Structure 1
């Protein structure tokens, strides 16, 4: 027969009876928390390829902050454990608490140093990114205001070097994206330089100058300069058309995570892709204009001896009415192409000024 509880004595909870004193548990937690930090660091390194945020400066700072919190918690549990030595004795408390606090103290000093260094590095990267954005703005202003023959490629080369510097000073996905941008800009700079060099040899007024077109050698030189100009322009258009895929391929080469590749290419398309129709219009108008000039050169060369240049009237003279009609038709085509080129260029300048 069960005896009733004695008056004034509370019944003992079986669960509480099996629990060790809290200072002993605190000492155990104090010595185990550094292991949690080790496991977290190992897990974050393993997950970094799948979770790109962990490789960013912000991710590193967040991880360091979490480890700091765990370390401070470990020291706190160690202090609580030591405060219980007087009541519960040293057994399973003093040794564990002292060892745990020593380990946590060492980790704290390392983490604080790394945290401060990481924050400084993150700030430096933010400053570098701000400088790169300013370089992009300077590029736009420079191209708009600089009328020198190689303005675009010169300013683009400066931006490319700025982006390369930023890539060297950043880490993680940002660095990979910067390097891909640098490759993209380098190829654009090369195609732009080729076009600019061809532009310097392409002189429409001289090409249409009949006085200097009376020999086959002169016409061959004009045809070569015009064809080089057309080819360079077509090459620049081809780059613009495939530029985003070039950028994507470079991101893959940099081993960027697929999700980050899509985000980066979407960002490029947002800032670059919506301008492509106008840029294509500019390139196509240039090709049409130069092709019309080339057609005139070919017509003159194919019909050497059937036409002449009247120095008095400064006009094209021929007794072949069909040849005259073809020549006049090509001049009209040149005028139409020139108007379209001027209109497209005005829109491009407006786009650059925004």
Structure 2
């Protein structure tokens, strides 16, 4: 999830663990704990594109990290914060660290919660930025913050924030199940034979959902809004896996393909090869739009294969917001 959401969650968890004893400092250190796992993004900048992708939401998003570094940070905090014991501070940091990846596991990218095992949990029931999850949570947290330490209202407001946000998360899982049924029914009605289907919400909402559908030689992408009145349409994107050519034996390319979990296409432009990661969708919900949110340019220089992530177009991102608003209202 986005940084603000993780800060709010960490602060609320910190308050739940130690707020009665140390007041707003529990929120402060909880917010820090909610931020620390995402520092892996900056570590990734020291490496090549593929390694950075592998690092993100790996070690720092694991149970191992939460346990070991929860104690380390708890001990460090206890050296100058004497109102709680080392064990209490360690418990606060542990819960701040562990709730971060648990929340991330509900997004499309997922998280390697059981590192070093190569298992990445990704339930794909919420977008990385969802105002309906974050804003009510933030309001309750602020209401709690301005209550005195130990006050009944303070705990009540904080608990309400945790309950409302968790309830919304549970609802998104139910919604995902409903939309999966809608897509599967549409495929059956249209006589489309497919191998696999995955669904996920489009950016910033849980009203409009998209589906990636694998067929023999192409992937289909379709959209469904709860306000739709017409049948779901699916748009085809050829796999073009044959374009990989001599790159198929390159270790970096193999690692990149592994990261996509098999949801990828290839395209060519200006004599360059591009791998498109389908899991994160397109930069528009318009029919047959071709620009993917995550795309990687594969080139060769001095007999070495280079992989670079294609920068996302900010103007296209702005257009996406407008497109989403229109499409959410129905087809």
Q: Under a length normalisation based on structure 1, what TM-score does the superposition of the two structures give?
A: 0.26
Q: Under a length normalisation based on structure 2, what TM-score does the superposition of the two structures give?
A: 0.27
The structure with the largest helix share of the pair is: 1
The structure with the largest strand share of the pair is: 2
State which structure, 1 or 2, has the greater radius of gyration over its C-alpha atoms: 1
Q: Which has the higher contact order (CA 8 A, sep 6+)?
A: 1
